[in-house]
Structure 1
Amino acid sequence: MPYEMGEYYERVSDYDLEYQSQSEQDVPFWQELMVRYTPQHVLELACGSGRIGLELLKVPGAFRLDGLDLEPGMLKAYQRKLGELPEATQQRVSLHQGDMCDYDLPARGTYDLIFLPFNSISHLYEIEQQFAAFTKTLEHLAPGGRFVVDVFLPDIDYLSDALNRPSTVYLEDELESPDGDFTMMLYTTRKYDAFEQVQHLTWTHEKFFETGENERYLTRLDMHVFFPRELQLLFLATGFSIESIYGGYDWKPFGKGTRQIVVGRKRR
């Protein structure tokens, strides 16, 4: 069946507003990762509008940073934000439009760090897509290079609700626009397909403007649910060794948090 994700990412400014608080949680982790690994050439898959990448550029060092994303609007926003930085910083960044399942970048074979943050792996719905993305990533890494994947740890209670009560409406967030001209309410309904391991989310975005007007629109977002052994086997089956697994952005061991952050390594 066809899965949905594109429309959710087309309203870039709303997306940035919805996930601005996420940066407080995960950006320090990725910055610390750069300090620990000191990579020289980095690739972010599903880089979006630069929420993480632009913050990495604040880490001391002269590393080069590439970004790959499927959505043109996201890359346009990233490029606009990048244009506000010093010219020397801009020269270190290259953005590419493409599919993480089928990409071939000029720097193939030279990256010593490739990362796929904040649940973006969940848009690899089919086994063939998953193997293709991991294989392409392995090809783009230099020997000894690392591939880091960050995705939520499945919550059985959450999935049970999505399986048994798919019509329940949840209030996810209430957000104020940066200019204070509107308030946005976010609601979801969740339906879980236990056989395909896909959760189908329907988002309702409702904006209330200071002018008294309001706007309401719906988006669909489908996400594959990766269970721990499944994700680890995906690394091993595509030629990676697993160096470490963390349970959250606080660097605690796997099992001590709500996430699975797997560090795979290309054998030398």
Structure 2
Amino acid sequence: MTSSDLWTEEQAQGYDDQGWDMFSPERIDPVVDFLAGLAGEGAALEFASGTGRIAVPLRRKGIPVSGIELSQPMTDRLRAKISEDELPVVTGDMATAVVPGEFVLVYLVFNTIGNLRTQAEQVRCFRNAARHLQPGGAFVVEVFVPPLRRLPPGQVAVPFEVSEGHTGFDTLDPVTQQGTSHHFHRRPDGTYRYGDHNFRYVWPSELDLMAQLAGMSLVRRTEDWVGTPFTGDSERHVSVWRNTSAQTTWSEPAPR
């Protein structure tokens, strides 16, 4: 049993049409280029592959990609874009599900580590990544830094986007590290569709300890996919850990 929210058929149908820039080339291309550089000639595995926002363009860049996805309706949307033979997906929990084969790269993007809403499950997720990695392989996580500095006493919500098409804010519990993302998407007729998503936020240092428990070590942490240095003011990070059972040496992604 997993603590993750299970995306429904209705949520999956509207996922690719949310009216914000997560599907823009400016958002997707740097991610795909970075991951492709890490994968090289090897295979990649995406945890929480969803509708294929990253997996499909990465596969079309020539990288063999597999996925693990909890929601069958989300995978059904993926199947409208690419076949099972081209991009196989195992339906299951990313903390425990097993995919045949061995990978040079396992990755989790767009805050999806938080889909696992207990610390124990997040630890198991790191161990599951290590289980799938070949010696020297890399595990990549993109996730926000908990914005508690923007949460003054008495305030429970932090906005993360306010635009014409989408307004979103997180409600956060500093005691339990539980949060809920609230989304208001503007329809063409001017009305709004509401959706929410529950998560557990996690600190960079906490992730590093999870990696150690799984036999991995941190080799790179930046603010974004293009290498902006990570600082105390960074609101998110892209972190890379290496499977330290390896004798091979990790190197920076090659330009593609």
TM-score > 0.5, shorter chain as reference: yes
What are the residue-to-residue correspondences of 1:257-268 with 2, within 5 Å? 257-267=234-244, 268=246
> Structure 1 stretch 91-100 or stretch 135-144: which is displaced more?
91-100
1:4–1:221: 8 Å Cα contact kept in structure 2? no
How far apart, CA to CA, are the structure 1 residues paired with 2:129 and 2:160?
36
Superposition pairs of residues 111-130 of structure 1, within 5 angstroms: 111-130=103-122
Contact 2:145 2:203 in 1 (8 A): yes
Q: Which residue of 2 aligns with 1:244?
A: 220
**Partners of 1:26 and 1:249 within 8 A in 2:** no
Query: Aligned partners of 1:120, 1:170: CA distance in 2, in Å?
Result: 16
- Percent identity, aligned pairs only, is 24
**Whole-angstrom CA distance in 2 between matches of 1:170 and 1:254:** 19
Report the Cα distance in structure 2 between the residues aligned to 1:237 and 1:33, rounded to whole angstroms: 24
Query: 1:44-101: per-residue Cα shift (whole Å, max 9, x none)?
Result: 1111101111111232x4x321011111111001111115xxxxxx743212211001
Work out the CA distance in 2 between the residues paired with 1:246 and 1:148: 11
- For the pair shown, the structure with the greater C-alpha radius of gyration is 1
Does the C-alpha gap of structure 1 residues 39 and 240 become closer, same or farther in structure 2, counting only changes over 3 Å?
Answer: farther
Match of 1:81 in 2: 81
Which residue is 2:147 aligned to?
155
1:17 and 1:173, CA in 2 relative to 1: closer, same or farther beyond 3 A?
Answer: farther
* Alpha-carbon distance in structure 1 between the residues aligned to 2:237 and 2:158: 27
Match of 2:52 among 50, 53, 56: 50
Q: Deviations over 1:155-182 (max 9, x none)?
A: 2343x05x6334799973333xxxxxxx
The Cα shift of 1:17 comes to 2.1
Give the stretch that moved more between structures: 70-79 or 198-207: 198-207
CA distance in 2, matches of 1:153, 1:69: 24
2:96 to 80, 91, 102: 102
Tell me what 1:134 maps to.
126
Q: Which amino acid aligns with 1:69?
A: E
Q: Map 1:17-56 onto structure 2 (within 5 A).
A: 17-18=17-18, 21-23=21-23, 24-56=26-58
Q: Give distance in 1, aligned partners of 2:65 and 2:183.
A: 32
Q: CA deviation at 1:220?
A: 2.5
- Equivalent-residue separation in structure 2 for 1:36 and 1:102 (angstroms): 24
Change (3 A) 1:19 1:260: farther
C-alpha distance 155-167 of structure 1, shift in aligned 2 (>3 A): closer
Contact 1:25 1:249 in 2 (8 A): no
Contact 1:7 1:219 in 2 (8 A): no
* Deviations 1:121-147, CA, capped at 9 Å, x for gaps: 011221210111111111111111111
Name the stretch that deviates more: 23-32 or 65-74. 23-32
Q: CA deviation at 1:9?
A: 7.8
Higher RCO (C-alpha 8 Å, min separation 6): 2
Q: TM-score, normalised by structure 1?
A: 0.78
For residue 93 of structure 2, what is the amino acid of its counterpart?
Answer: D
Offset of residue 198 of structure 1: 1.8
Superposed CA deviations along residues 218-267 of structure 1, whole A, max 9, x for unmatched, are: 33312222112111111112211112111112212322743221111112
Question: Alpha carbons of 1:7 and 1:111: their partners in 2 closer, same or farther (altered >3 Å)?
Answer: closer
Distance (Å, rounded) in 1 between the aligned partners of 2:73 and 2:163: 24
Does the aligned pair in 1 maintain the 2:168–2:183 contact within 8 Å?
yes
| Shift in Å, 1:35 | 2.6
RMSD between aligned alpha carbons? 2.8
Counterpart Cα distance in 1 of 2:177 and 2:141: 18
Name the structure 1 match of 2:14.
14
Alpha carbons of 1:171 and 1:228: their partners in 2 closer, same or farther (altered >3 Å)? Answer: closer
Amino acid at match of 1:201: S
